[in-house]
Structure 1
Amino acid sequence: MKRGDQQYNALAERIGRLHLQQRLGIEQEHVKQIFGRGRNFFHIENWYSVHALMRLCFRLAGIYERGRHNAADIRVCENEVFIPDLPAGLDGFTILQLSDIHVDMSDAISRALNQRVTTVKYDLCVITGDFRARTYGSFDAVLQGMVKLKSALKGEVLGILGNHDFIEMVPGLEELGVRMLLNESALIEHNGEHLYVVGVDDTHYYQVDNLDKAASAIPAESITILLSHSPELYRQAAHSDINLMLSGHTHGGQVCLPGGFALTYNINAPRRMGRGVWRYHGLQGYTSVGSGTCVVDVRYNCPPEITLHRLRCGGQGG
C-alpha cells in the first residue's frame, strides 16, 4: 500500500494520515526482525530456524502429535458478565469472542475452529486480533482461510488488528464482511436497546492504540465493550467508562507446565490478566487463551478456546 493508492487514501481519510503513516512505517521496520523494538527485545515468531528446532525437540520427546491433537481440541468457554443498570433488552446478549486465530498456521486447527463456531448461539461475534501466524510477508493464505471461517459465522462480525497483522489486510477482511475497528466504535442495536463496541489498534508491538479517539463519539453512561488485542490497556480502560474489556494475545502461555502454569504471558500487565476473567478497579476484563497457535502448532496444559460472554443485569462491576 503506497501513498496515492486508492486503498491508502481511503484508510488515511478514515483513520487519519498520521496513524496510517506510523503503522506502515513500523511495519517496514518490523519485517524479519528478530531482535529490537517493541515491548519485547526478542521476537521468536520471526526466528523460523528455532521453530523447526522446537518441532524436532517435541518429536524426539514423543509428544509432538499429542500437542497437535491438543491444539485442535477447541473448547467452548462461557463467561457471565454482570453489569449494573444494563437495559432489560440487553439481558442475555451474547458475544462470541475469537482470538489469535492464526488461520494460516494449521489446516487442522482451522477446520476445528470452523466446525466449533457452528455449534454455539450468539448475538455478535468479535475477533480480538492476530488473524495470521507470521508477522510479515504475504497474507493471501489468511484471506483464503477467512473465507471459510466467515461462512461458518452468523450475523455481524467485528475485528481488530493484532501485533501479527498488517493494516494492508483491512480492505480484504472488510470485503469478506469482517468490520474492522481501527481506533473506532460500532453501534449495536438489540431488542430496542443499544450498546457500543470500541476497537483499538494494536497496543502491544505497534503501540498505535488511541482509546480517546475510538470512544469519542460514545454518549456518557452507554454500555461499552472494549476490544484490545492485549490487556495492556487496562489502566486507561478502567478510567474510561468501559463495562467490559476483551483481549487475547497471550495464548494462555500455549505450552504450560502441569496445572496450566504459564512460563510467560508476554504482556506488560499483571500476571493475573494473562488468561480468563480479571478485574481492575471497576473494570471487568477477560483475556482469551485463543483458538490458534503461534511458532509451533502444539498446546500443552492449555486447551484452546472460543468464548461466549453473556451480559446480565446486576452485580457490582461497571
Structure 2
Amino acid sequence: MGRGFRRLAILAAACFAYGTFIEPYDFRVRRARLKVLPAGAAPIRVLHISDFHLVANQRRKRAFIRALAGLEPDLVVNTGDNLASPDALAPLIEDLGRLLDVPGVFVFGSNDYTAPRPKNPLGYLAGDTSREGVHADRQQLPTEELREALTSHGWLDLNGKRGELELRGLRVEFRGTDDAHLNLDDYRLVSGRPARGVDLAVGVTHAPYSRVLDAMTADGLRLILAGHTHGGQVCVPGFGALTTNCDLPPRQAKGASRHHAAGRRSWLHVSAGLGANPYTPFRFACPPEVTLLTLVPGSNG
C-alpha cells in the first residue's frame, strides 16, 4: 500500500511538473482545411489567434508570436483575451509586427477589459464561471488603447459590429459579438441574413456560447470562429477536455466541428489559445496553439 502510494505521488508530481514547466511552452501551429468557399475560388489562408493572456516577460511566447508572420496568412482573426497585465500592450503590438499589415478582424474577451487575478485552479473544472459585465474591482486593462492600436492598422473591430473585406477576389462579410462570458453580447446589433452578393459570411466571438452560435447559424453563416475554452486546458489523454468554461460540449473544446441550429449548420472553429491565467499556468494534454485554416471550395452540407 505504501509503495503504491509513493508511486502515485511520484506520478502526480511528474504530471504537475510537466503541465507547469513543459507543456505551457510547447507552442504549436494547428493546420486544417475547411470547405466553405464557392466553386472556383482561390484558397484563403486564415490565421486564427486567441487567448494570448500575455505578460511582458513571457519571452518564449513572445518569440512564437513574432514568428507567426512567417506563415503568410491572407487574413488574421483574433478572438480575444490578449492581455494579462497593462504593461503587455506595447509588447503585444510589437510582437504582432508584420501581421498587423495583413487584413484582420478582432473581438474582445474578458482579459481585454480586466486583468486576471489569483483563484482556485480547480474552480475552472466546476463549470461555467461567467459573470455579468466588467467588474470595477478588478485591475483595468488598456482596452481602448488596444482597440485603437488594432484599428489603426486597418483591422475590423467586430464587437457588436459587421464589416466586409475583399480577400483573394472574394467578398467576405464578418459579424461579431462582444464577450458572451461577461454577458456583453447583443446579437441583435448584427443579426440578419448576409448581404446580397457576399461570397462567404463569417461569425466571430470570444466565448462560444450556444445562444451566439445558434443565432449565427440560423442567419446562414458558414463559418464561426471562437476562443475562450483553452481547449479544455487540462485534458485526459485518450478522452479529451473535461470542460469548456461555457455551455459548449467538451468534445468541441478545440478544432473544427459542426454546429446545428434552425435546420442549418455551420462550421465552428475553436482555438485552444496560446496561454492561460498567469496565476494558473498549467496545461496538460492540451498544448498551446494557433491555427492556420485554409479555406477552400466545397459544400457545407
Structure 1, gaps ≥5 residues long: 1-56, 134-138
C-alpha distance in structure 1 between counterparts of 2:296 and 2:21, whole Å: 36
Measured against aligned partners, the alpha-carbon deviations of 1:137-165 in whole angstroms (never above 9, x if no partner) come to xx532312222222152412321111222
Matches for 1:114-125 after TM superposition, within 5 Å: 114-125=65-76
| Pairing partner for 1:290 from 248, 266, 273 | 273
Q: State the match for 2:40 in structure 1.
A: 88
Q: Is 1:68 aligned with 2:47?
A: no
How far did residue 66 of structure 1 move?
Answer: 5.7
Q: Report the secondary structure of 2:112's partner residue.
A: coil
How far did residue 181 of structure 1 move?
Answer: 1.9
C-alpha distance in structure 1 between counterparts of 2:106 and 2:65, whole Å: 17
Measured against aligned partners, the alpha-carbon deviations of 1:40-84 in whole angstroms (never above 9, x if no partner) come to xxxxxxxxxxxxxxxxx99x9254366333212211111211126
Matches for 1:27-42 after TM superposition, within 5 Å: none
- 1:202 maps to amino acid: D
Q: State the match for 1:314 in structure 2.
A: 298
Alignment RMSD (CA, Å): 2.7
How far did residue 253 of structure 1 move?
Answer: 1.5
Instruction: State whether residues 74 and 112 of structure 1, in contact with CA within 8 Å, keep that contact through their aligned partners in structure 2.
Output: no
C-alpha distance in structure 2 between counterparts of 1:145 and 1:195, whole Å: 30
Instruction: State whether residues 67 and 299 of structure 1, in contact with CA within 8 Å, keep that contact through their aligned partners in structure 2.
Output: yes
Q: State the match for 2:86 in structure 1.
A: 140
Matches for 1:1-318 after TM superposition, within 5 Å: 61-62=13-14, 63-64=16-17, 67-83=20-36, 86=38, 88-89=40-41, 91-104=42-55, 107-133=58-84, 139-153=85-99, 154-166=101-113, 169-176=143-150, 177=153, 178-204=155-181, 206-215=182-191, 218-220=194-196, 222=198, 223-232=200-209, 233-259=212-238, 261-281=240-260, 282-294=265-277, 295-317=279-301
User: For residues 80 and 98 of structure 1, do their structure 2 counterparts lie closer, same or farther at Cα, with a shift above 3 Å needed?
Assistant: same
How far did residue 197 of structure 1 move?
Answer: 1.8
C-alpha distance in structure 2 between counterparts of 1:143 and 1:307, whole Å: 22
| TM-score after normalising by structure 2 | 0.74
Q: Report the secondary structure of 2:51's partner residue.
A: coil
User: For residues 146 and 277 of structure 1, do their structure 2 counterparts lie closer, same or farther at Cα, with a shift above 3 Å needed?
Assistant: same
User: For residues 67 and 260 of structure 1, do their structure 2 counterparts lie closer, same or farther at Cα, with a shift above 3 Å needed?
Assistant: farther
C-alpha distance in structure 1 between counterparts of 2:214 and 2:98, whole Å: 35
Instruction: State whether residues 204 and 226 of structure 2, in contact with CA within 8 Å, keep that contact through their aligned partners in structure 1.
Output: yes
- 1:310 maps to amino acid: T
C-alpha distance in structure 2 between counterparts of 1:260 and 1:104, whole Å: 31
Instruction: State whether residues 207 and 228 of structure 2, in contact with CA within 8 Å, keep that contact through their aligned partners in structure 1.
Output: yes
How far did residue 201 of structure 1 move?
Answer: 0.4
How far did residue 215 of structure 1 move?
Answer: 4.8
C-alpha distance in structure 2 between counterparts of 1:215 and 1:99, whole Å: 24
C-alpha distance in structure 2 between counterparts of 1:95 and 1:259, whole Å: 29
- 1:175 maps to amino acid: A
Q: Report the secondary structure of 2:268's partner residue.
A: strand
Number of aligned residue pairs: 252
Structure 2, gaps ≥5 residues long: 1-8, 114-140
User: For residues 261 and 272 of structure 1, do their structure 2 counterparts lie closer, same or farther at Cα, with a shift above 3 Å needed?
Assistant: closer
Measured against aligned partners, the alpha-carbon deviations of 1:223-282 in whole angstroms (never above 9, x if no partner) come to 111111111122111101111000110101212222362232111122332221111231
C-alpha distance in structure 2 between counterparts of 1:296 and 1:260, whole Å: 22
- 1:140 maps to amino acid: P
User: For residues 297 and 260 of structure 1, do their structure 2 counterparts lie closer, same or farther at Cα, with a shift above 3 Å needed?
Assistant: farther
